[in-house]
Structure 1
Amino acid sequence: MSEDEERDEDGEGEEKQQEGTAWIGKLIGRLHHHLRQLPVVGFNSGKYDVNAMKRVFLPLLHTQQENLRPIKKDNNFMSIETDHLKFLDLINYVAPGFSYSHLLKAYECQETKGFFPYEWMDDLNKLEQTSLPPADAFYSKLDGTHISPEDYVSCQKVWEERGMKTMKDFLIWYNNKDVVPMLEAIQKMVDFYRDLGIDMLKDGISVPGLTLKYLFMNLESDTYFTLVDKEDVYKLFKETL
């Protein structure tokens, strides 16, 4: 083998080594990003919670986190990403019209949602009240529903058993009661997708995104997609649908 041929082979070997190193570097970078980005999940938070506090929340998030990347659909924040946080709405991972109570029932969660007098709580000073308000304070104009006598007795029992002193204690209990069963539901959902080889909270921000991910994971190697580039063919397809 001549000196020039040896030099060419050495050059090709170095080039392949550099390509391999670059590929490994990209893979490590993706892994680091995957591990350091923490999902923060709410239910219907994209439509309600984020919009309710966005004037304070988004500027504060922008000052404390790098590369703020919101994804909106109309007035709904489907996702808000930074380098270290990823805010998601669980409602995008369930069927349309699915309520929180439907979610807990579908995943057979052991704990259930608590009760709170939302519309009665119109003043922060009421958090210092030293007893539960009457049952009619739990009436919801939004739903047109009253708390049942059994559920009100249950709230009184919680107050006594947990030694609550003020409505602030009751609010803390209610917030925790609201979160714990959702964590159970999320864990069951994550386990389902993990069995399919998908990281639910990292691979998509909605069911369609996860479905697309699963589709491309299971396509035959020779499968390809193409676009219709002729207007008459496009119209023919459209008219026959």
Structure 2
Amino acid sequence: MSLTIGDDAPDFEAQTTEGTIHFHEWIGDSWAVLFSHPRAFTPVCTTELGYMASIKPEFDKRGVKIIAISTDPVEGSAEWSKDIEASQGTAVNYPIIGDADHAIAKAYGMLPADVEGDPTARSAAQNATLRNVFVIGPDKKIKLVLIYPMTTGRNFDEVLRVVDSLQLTATEAVSTPAQWQRGDDVIIGGSVSNEAAKEKYPDGWEEPLPYMRIVKDPSAA
């Protein structure tokens, strides 16, 4: 069964390119981004892992840990990392999980339960569903799920933007509008009464519609 927003992120123990981890323990009190790959040595994923490595400092600033997962054994991902550095200009600076028995992919609903056998004998096309991004909160709940097709590289700037929104709305009773970027105006949550809003936003708000109250990003003050 596929996982969705609000579900518990399955815990697991796994071998990675940086040693053995217990996933929930590894996350700790941080946020986390788990993104999956059908196989090592695939061209689109090579560009993705390289780009993610280049913007990792932005995730670090936000207290977000990054981890990738491939069905290939850890040794294959370690070799793949050399190609990523050589072609993308940035060394992989986060762990890559080796999910050779598909256990994690199945737990996260990315592969059917009946998939078995040597992962290196399966083509990337056979593992096409392994093109997911999960954002996981410190409470170990899934906050975002994105699924991309094989032919389309993922937009990790968008993942970073969503993290900004998730972290803001986790602490403030607001929502973020379309195309929102950190520091832009936000929408006061519908659960907040006008009386409570006046206390929190004494300078008032814009109200282009009876059900839309727009204020400055409270975290930008």
When normalised by structure 1's length, the TM-score is 0.27
Which of the pair has the greater relative contact order for Cα pairs under 8 Å at 6+ separation?
Answer: 2
Greater share of residues in helix: 1
TM-score, normalised to structure 2's length?
A: 0.29
Task: Tell which structure's C-alpha radius of gyration is larger.
Answer: 1
Structure number with the higher strand fraction is: 2
